[in-house]
Amino acid sequence: MHDLFTAVVQGIVEGLTEFLPVSSTGHLILTGKLLGFTGDKADTFEIVIQLGAILAVAVIYWRRILNLLGFTRLAPGSDADGISVTDHKLNLLHVILACLPAMVLGLLLNSVIKSYLFSPYTVLVGLVLGGGFMLFGQKKQARVEAAAMDQLSYKQAFLIGLFQCLALWPGFSRSGATIAGGLLLGVGYRAATNFSFLIAIPMMVAASGFELIKNAGALTASDAGFFATGFITAFIVALLAVISFLKLLEKLKLAPFAYYRFGLAAVFLAYLLISGQ
């Protein structure tokens, strides 16, 4: 029963936070600490539920994905932005340029990140720094040059990719870094958010695939129900979270999410100090 409860809670946390600018990795580390769910099994479980969240975004952007891969005839109609697939100007090179910096740097620094940055205290630092960067991006937003994702230049895509590298620090938030970075580059809120979600798919597939291969030994047949519960929960919650966030972001901006991060960091720091951990 405890395993089922843990699977549902972590699945909900992953689904809610993976694509919101609050850091899913940070939340999973912190809730895992509270639930006493750590170690190799926990690491592998996090990878599996991330794949559930990825699937949710792939479902939302399926027309755009097929178009990027050159299968336009298989995806008639309009995408999540209401733009006809025949009018899409964003191409695969935009996505590659945005993903390449973090993929290369993440591969080079993987062992260092895993060894030194996956602790509750470093996550709290990431939450605060990421929140500060989000407020900075909102305050210093450049004049909008790309109101829609199809107006992004190759330069903007690559620079957003450089900002994405900040999220290699657990707790910083990949979506927070890319959306705030996009604002600084003259990309509108909705365009920055859509592009952030779109490039999350190859980024997370690559990262999750790499980690899953490394941790394959931790998977056993007896864990199938536990992992399936987390996967399905993350998929459903992420689907609802992304749709809701796309509708609310232009009204809410990034500030409320930044203040939430500050509050979470303060509360969890107090918990760690009181519990002597």
Listed range (92-106, 109-123, 152-166, 255-269) with the worst mean pLDDT: 109-123
Is the per-residue pLDDT at 149 higher than 90? yes
Amino acid identity, position 17: T
In this predicted structure, what is the pLDDT of residue 208?
Answer: 82
Q: With residue 110 as reference, give the H or E element that holds it.
A: helix 92-116
Mean pLDDT of 267-276: 89
Distance CA 268, CA 270 (A): 5
Q: With residue 207 as reference, give the H or E element that holds it.
A: helix 189-214
In this predicted structure, what is the pLDDT of residue 87?
Answer: 56
Distance CA 264, CA 268 (A): 6
Angle 35-56-108 (CA atoms, 0-180°, nearest 5)? 70
- Tokens 């089922």 belong to 4
Distance CA 230, CA 236 (A): 10
> How many domains would you assign to the chain?
1
**C-alpha distance from residue 51 to each of 32, 56, 98, 166, 214 (Å):** 18, 9, 20, 22, 15
| Backbone φ and ψ of 264, nearest 5° | -60, -45
Is the per-residue pLDDT at 229 higher than 80? yes
Is the per-residue pLDDT at 83 higher than 60? no
In this predicted structure, what is the pLDDT of residue 70?
Answer: 82
In this predicted structure, what is the pLDDT of residue 79?
Answer: 57
Q: Which residue range forms the structural domain that includes residue 151? A: 2-275
In this predicted structure, what is the pLDDT of residue 2?
Answer: 56
